[in-house]
Amino acid sequence: MMADQPFGDGGRGSGVELSSGDESGFEESARSSVFEFREENGRTYHGVKDGAYLLPNDWAEQDRLEILHQLFTKLLEGKLYLAPISHDLHQVLDVGTGTGAWAIDFGDQFASANVQGIDLSPIQPTSVPPNVIFYVEDAEGDHWSYKTKFDLIHCRALCGVFANWPKFYAQAYKNLQPGGYMETQDYACQIYSNSNNMGMAPNCAKWMQELESASTEHGKTLNIAHKHRKWMIDAGFEDVTETIRNVPIGEWTENSDLHEIGQLLRSQMKLATTSFTLAHYSRILKYNIESIHVFMAYVNKELSDDALQLYMRFHFVYGRKPMGLQPENQMQQD
């Protein structure tokens, strides 16, 4: 997908462009709203499709996303992916790129690949590898209009982004080269107790239940990580493989190799309390802001308590588009 007009600073400095290939009219609406961020309860949210995505895009959220990138990378022992991809990649798409950290690191590792990152918020940096470019783009649209097909499509931690995940995977499937890979990295929006006693963390349990209720009412359920494998299979991908990792919140585990990872997850979660809670609770559940902050303080207190032995599950799922379905670089006419 080609770009026609660069945009200026989008936060920490953005080299984002707006795609010109979308036939849905997204471009015209985006021109007027791409930098018109919504300010609410001390946070800012994207202006494109205002209200569609309930997490913020400000510096605090960008810090959380950077921590999350470190966490995912350390979980994979320095790797950015698990799919058995060829090193002769040409076109790569990172959906919901956020701060662009994954796309930038991938572009550094694969200098011959063209890496595109798309997001509703132009919060990516200007200093990027020459083979990396970012676009303001809506992957939830009815028609992807890329002019080339991809060897790899990657997405990470996009819970709450899509109302229709099967449609997303169908679009990804159409836009992959035969033999290309789709990889999704996600974490379940659920907190577990290693002692099987979430009654010792009632506020965390309540938080998860109410977030699930609010996000479902909003039409974009958060706790969907366990469904990616089936969605990929249903979309037509083959050799679908899932890896699940239990990750401690904090340093309570005896496995010292997980202590740094546990610290990162705790830091991420304590930032996530405000990122995930404010809009879901104020807009959907109609809580007042004072009660939200009091509740978040109780949640963060439990997240800080190693004695509770809390953990989360991370899902890594990849699948391959079958070979021999159609000529390379020939787009289907929808």
Domain assignment present for 33: yes
Range of the domain at 259: 3-320
Mean pLDDT in residue range 46-52: 79
Number of H helices, E strands in the chain: 8, 12
Domain assignment present for 162: yes
Domain assignment present for 61: yes
Condensed to tens digits (0 to 9), the pLDDT of residues 253-286 reads: 999 999 999 999 999 999 999 999 999 999 999 9
Report pTM.
0.89
Mean pLDDT in residue range 64-85: 98
The total number of residues written for the chain in this structure: 334
Condensed to tens digits (0 to 9), the pLDDT of residues 178-232 reads: 999 999 999 999 999 998 889 999 999 999 999 999 999 999 999 999 999 999 9
What are the b/e assignments for 93-122, b being 16+ CB within 10 Å? bbbbbbbbbbbbbbbeebeebbbbbbbbbb
**What's the pLDDT at 182?**
99
**What's the pLDDT at 48?**
75
Domain assignment present for 11: yes
CATH number at residue 307: 3.40.50.150
Domain assignment present for 325: no
Domain assignment present for 327: no
Mean pLDDT in residue range 287-310: 98
Number of domains in the chain: 1
Mean pLDDT across the chain, nearest whole number?
89
